[in-house]
Amino acid sequence: MLHIDLPTRAEIEALAAYRGSPAVSIYLSTTPLTQDAQADRIGLKNLLRTALAEMADADADKRSIEPIRESIEALVEDDDFWVEQANSLAIFATPKSLRTFRLGNKLGNAVEVSDRFHIKPLLRAITFPHNAYVLAISMGAVRLVEVSADLPPHEVKVPGLVRGAADAAGRRSHLERKGDMESGESTSESALLTRYARAVDQALRPVLAGHGRPLIVAAAEPMATIFHGVCSYPHLAEATIPGTADRTPDHELAAAARGILDQVYAAEIKALGETYAARAAQDRATCDLGRAARAATFGAVETLIVDMDAELPGRVDENGAVTLDAKADGVNYSVTDEIARRALLSGARVIAARRGDVPGGGELAAVLRYPV
């Protein structure tokens, strides 16, 4: 099982708002297999050495460097911490604090030292999930299956989950009818399925709380439509896996779910591209780095799509003017990350995407609230 603790938008905004030197951002590719975690711990030690060297080169105060070194080394030595991991680990360290997030996405190893945190890979992890839950639900059975990019799918234990429609109705079988005193509505199939769907939704709430992964329903009609009508989980996928899934193996459900995730991603990228094209005709969209930086600085960005791999070291001043540097160091930062940070703090939607999915083919594309 992937042990994921995705940050909320409020937590990301808190990281984005931080100012103080040194601030160390580390992204580590990890394995959810506990027996292989030793290699990840060694990898973190190597990334820490890189961070220490960058802080020393930037003439950071040794009294600031030492607490960061101690806190990350303590994390490396924490056996309990490495028992439960996901596909990536994000670490944000200052002389006074250490924050970690276990992420479902497979991110590359990276270190950034500056006076602010590097948040773009974190944004990628919550933009388009590669993991999902599948709810296989029918009259006679229900189960929740976790689907991830790199591990076999498996059933998730859901405390209090009913065993089927009959269990939700308090009957021995969904075919059993109660006495003549019951109203037609209470004994109808539609009412029974609705009651059943609500019971399933209620049991799922504490299990799914705090997750951003899509929930995909695998069910025949009318069960699929009825569950969609009562589900309270905000990330319920519109598309469903059709047919009764009682005996469908988990790996087949996972394959179908991955296809739906691809559809969700493609549809969203297409919609963003269409919005960008329409706004560009109104002078309310740009892929120019300098113009996007000014727009983000003055709160004019509505949506920002940024290349997750674009790292242009430099600075952005208080007026949004961009200065690019030849190489990264312990003082400058990623300009695209800084533009994303400013857009995020102004309330914009920020999406970290692949280069080929960025409208205009550049490092970023901004849809503006008004021309800048």
The 322-324 sheet, strands edge to edge: 322-324, 313-316, 333-334
Segment 163-168 shows an average pLDDT of 88
User: How many CB atoms are closer than 10 A to CB 352?
Assistant: 27
Phi, psi (deg, nearest 5) at residue 314: 165, -150
What residue spans define the domains of the chain?
9-127, 132-265, 282-368
Q: In angstroms, rounded to a whole number, what is the distance separating the alpha carbons of residues 24 and 53?
A: 12
| Average pLDDT, rounded, for the chain | 90
| Three-class DSSP category at 340 | helix
**pLDDT score recorded for residue 149:** 66
pLDDT of residue 171: 56
**d(C-alpha 145, C-alpha 316), whole Å:** 45
9-127, CATH topology level:
3.30.960
The CATH number that domain 282-368 falls under is: 3.30.1330.30
Task: Report the alpha-carbon distance of residue 349 to residue 358 in Å, rounded.
Answer: 14
CA dihedral over 193, 262, 339, 371, signed as positive or negative: negative
Separation between Cα atoms, residue 194 and residue 226, nearest integer Å = 6
Q: Which residues share a beta bridge with 26? A: 91, 111
pLDDT at 100 over 50: yes
Distance in angstroms (rounded) separating the CA atoms of residues 2 and 134 = 15
- What pLDDT score was predicted for residue 184? 45
| Residue type (1 letter), 191 | A
* Angle in degrees, 0-180, between the axes of helices 335-345 and 289-297, rounded to the nearest 10: 30
- Give 128 or 349, the one with higher predicted confidence: 349
Q: Across the chain, how many H-helices and E-strands are there?
A: 12, 16
pLDDT tens-place string over residues 123-145: 877 777 678 999 999 999 999 99
Q: Would you state the structure tokens that stand for residue 325, as one six-digit string?
A: 């540097």
DSSP label at 319? Answer: T
Residue 186 has pLDDT above 80, yes or no: no
